[in-house]
Amino acid sequence: MKITILTLFPEMYDGFINTSIIARAVKQGKVEIECVNIRDFTLDKHNHVDDTPFGGGRGMVMMCQPVLDALAHVRKANSHVILMAPSGKTFNQACARNYAQKEHIIIICGHYEGLDARIYDEVDELVSIGDYVLTGGELASMVISDAVIRLLDGVIEEESHLDESFENGLLEYPHYTKPADYKGKKVPEVLLSGHHENIRKFRLKESLRNTLKIRPDLLENREFTKEEIKFLREFAENGEFFPSNLVKIIK
Ligand code: 6GU
């Protein structure tokens, strides 16, 4: 797959592209990352990319011409064009899986107060990474690229996806490594037992417990197996935290 980033700050991507798993994926040809400087598409001699907002108000607005000329330069028939904006729909793991199927994604990063709204008409979607405001779309575009690239075939071990947070609609279970006793803090006995079925049950139960405690919203519209419902009942019966809107699951 190819990811094209349109940005005023291509140097921000150097560390991202040249480090660890992303660097390896690029080297192995699993992904091509192209950073294009929007400023290279300006037509005036001072290379202006922004101007004051019509109607007044604070800050500067990125102009249509450099952004849309840069987009036209990199866009192909199969390109999926994403504009990073705090007002976009919130990115999640399902979006990452969807983008990972695409041949080419183009991510436009806004800066300053925002972009001229006429640019919105030329993109497939506006995407945000959460309910807070960043100084620009660059970090958000790296978040999205990272989440997508690690899902591409052969970038990380296939099985590592399966038990991760969100992949099965639950937060992940806790992991432990050596030593089995760290300053008196012990690893749960079952993980040392070698009993695969008991380990699977323990992990599923801990996943459920974590999700119930930290992200009960993830459980609202999820389908449950009989085994999962049994564990949820146990939590409720043992007086563990159980949100009242989820009681319907165990009724
Ligand atoms: Cl995509 N851009 C900016 N500037 N802030 C954000 C964001 C995007 N997503 C969350 N906050």
Q: Output b/e per residue, 108-125; b: 16+ Cβ within 10 A.
A: bbbbbebbbeebeeebee
Rg (CA), the chain: 23
| 57 CA distance to ligand 1 middle (Å) | 20
pLDDT of residue 162: 73
- Strand 114-115 versus strand 185-186 pairing type: unpaired
For residue 188, say if its preceding peptide bond is cis, omega within 30 degrees of 0. no
The Cα 125–Cα 87 span in angstroms is 11
pLDDT of residue 177: 98
Mutate to test the pocket of ligand 1, among 129, 144, 145 (most ligand atoms within 8 A of CB): 129
CA-132 nearest atom, ligand 1: 11
| 178 CA distance to ligand 1 middle (Å) | 39
- Nearest alpha-carbon partner for 108 in 60, 57, 73: 73
pLDDT of residue 111: 84
- CATH code for the domain defined by 2-158: 3.40.1280.10
pLDDT of residue 22: 98
CA-111 nearest atom, ligand 1: 4
pLDDT of residue 163: 75
pLDDT of residue 113: 81
User: What residues does each domain of the chain span?
Assistant: 2-158, 181-250
Nearest-CA residue for atom 3 of ligand 1: 134
Pocket of ligand 1 (CB under 6 A): 84-86, 128-130, 132-134, 136-137, 140
Instruction: Give domain 181-250's CATH superfamily.
Output: tRNA(m1g37)methyltransferase, domain 2 (1.10.1270.20)
Burial (CB < 10 A; 0-12, 13-18, 19+), residue 93, is: middle
Rounded to 10°, the helix 226-237/196-214 angle is 60
CA atoms within 13 A on the CB side of 176: 15
| 108 CA distance to ligand 1 middle (Å) | 12
* Structure-token pair, residue 9: 């700050």
Per-residue pLDDT 10s for the chain (251 aa) are: 999 999 999 999 999 999 999 999 999 999 999 999 999 999 999 999 999 999 999 999 999 999 999 999 999 999 999 999 999 999 999 999 999 999 999 999 998 788 999 999 999 999 999 999 999 999 999 999 999 999 999 999 987 787 788 878 999 999 999 999 999 999 999 999 999 999 999 999 999 999 999 999 999 999 999 999 999 999 999 999 999 999 999 99
pLDDT of residue 161: 80
